[in-house]
C-alpha cells in the first residue's frame, strides 16, 4: 500500500488548522501563536524526517536504525523534561524512564516475533512507544508540581511530625504516576474498538 500526499489532502489538513485557529481566536484561548508555530515546525520536521526515513529504510543497517531510535528517545526525554518546571534530575529521570520502557517493550515485541529488527518497523514503533511515555511523564510532572504546590502545608506538617521525605510525599507521587498512566490505560481498554 503506497500512500501519496497530494495538494487536495494538504488543503484539507490546512482547513482543519484554520478551524482550530478560528475557534482559538473566537474563544480567546491564547493558543494562536503556539498553533501557528506548531504547524510550521510540524511541516518542516515531517519533510526532513520523510527524506531521512526514506534513506534509512533503503540502507537497512542495524546500527543506523539503533542510532535513529536513540535520537527519538533523547528527543522524547527532552520534551518530557520541559514539562518538569525545574524539578531536579528531570532529564536523567525522563531519559531512563523512556529508554527502559521503550527498550523493554521493543525487546518483548522482537523476541515474540511480532516485529522484526528492520527500520520500517522499529523506527515507527519506537516513535509510538516513546511518544506515549513522553506524554505520561509530562502529565506526571505537571500533576506532581501542581499537587506539591496545592498540598505544600500538608507535606510540611508531615515532615514536622517526623515523617521522612518519601513518607511525606508518597501519596502525591502515587497520584501523579496514576495520572500519567491513565491515558495509556484508557487507550489499552479501547485499543480494538476506538484505535
Where residue 192 falls among pLDDT bands split at 50, 70, 90?
A: low
pLDDT tens track for 59-88: 889 999 999 999 999 999 999 999 888 888
Give 72's contacts (C-beta < 8 A, 6+ positions apart).
Answer: 123, 126, 127, 130
Across residues 125-140, what is the average pLDDT? 93
Q: Smallest Cα–Cα separation from 174: which of 166, 186, 183? A: 166
pLDDT tens track for 95-121: 999 999 999 999 999 999 999 989 999
Where residue 185 falls among pLDDT bands split at 50, 70, 90?
A: confident
pLDDT mean across residues, the chain: 88
The CA distance from 6 to 35, in Å, is: 23
pLDDT reading at 10 higher than 80: no
Residue extents of the structural domains in the chain = 1-59, 61-195
Give 52's contacts (C-beta < 8 A, 6+ positions apart).
Answer: 68
Residue 5: other Cβ atoms inside 10 A: 10
Q: What is the pTM of this model?
A: 0.75
pLDDT reading at 128 higher than 80: yes
Amino acid at each position: 500500500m503506497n500512500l501519496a500526499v497530494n495538494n487536495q489532502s494538504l488543503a484539507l489538513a490546512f482547513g482543519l488548522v484554520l478551524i482550530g485557529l478560528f475557534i482559538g481566536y473566537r474563544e480567546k484561548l491564547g493558543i494562536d501563536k503556539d498553533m501557528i508555530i506548531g504547524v510550521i515546525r510540524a511541516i518542516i520536521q515531517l519533510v526532513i524526517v520523510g527524506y531521512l526515513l526514506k534513506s534509512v529504510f533503503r540502507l537497512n543497517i542495524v546500527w543506523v536504525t539503533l542510532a535513529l531510535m536513540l535520537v527519538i528517545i533523547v528527543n522524547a526525554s527532552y520534551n518530557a523534561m520541559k514539562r518538569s518546571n525545574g524539578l531536579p534530575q528531570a532529564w536523567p529521570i525522563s531519559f531512563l524512564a523512556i529508554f527502559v520502557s521503550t527498550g523493554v517493550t521493543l525487546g518483548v515485541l522482537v523476541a515474540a516475533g511480532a516485529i522484526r529488527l528492520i527500520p520500517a518497523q522499529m523506527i515507527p514503533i519506537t516513535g509510538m512507544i516513546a511518544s506515549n511515555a513522553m506524554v505520561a511523564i509530562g502529565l506526571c510532572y505537571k500533576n506532581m508540581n501542581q499537587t506539591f504546590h496545592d498540598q505544600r502545608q500538608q507535606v510540611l506538617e508531615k515532615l514536622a511530625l517526623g515523617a521522612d521525605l518519601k513518607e511525606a510525599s508518597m501519596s502525591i507521587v502515587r497520584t501523579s504516576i496514576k495520572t500519567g498512566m491513565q491515558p495509556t490505560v484508557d487507550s489499552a481498554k479501547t485499543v480494538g474498538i476506538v484505535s
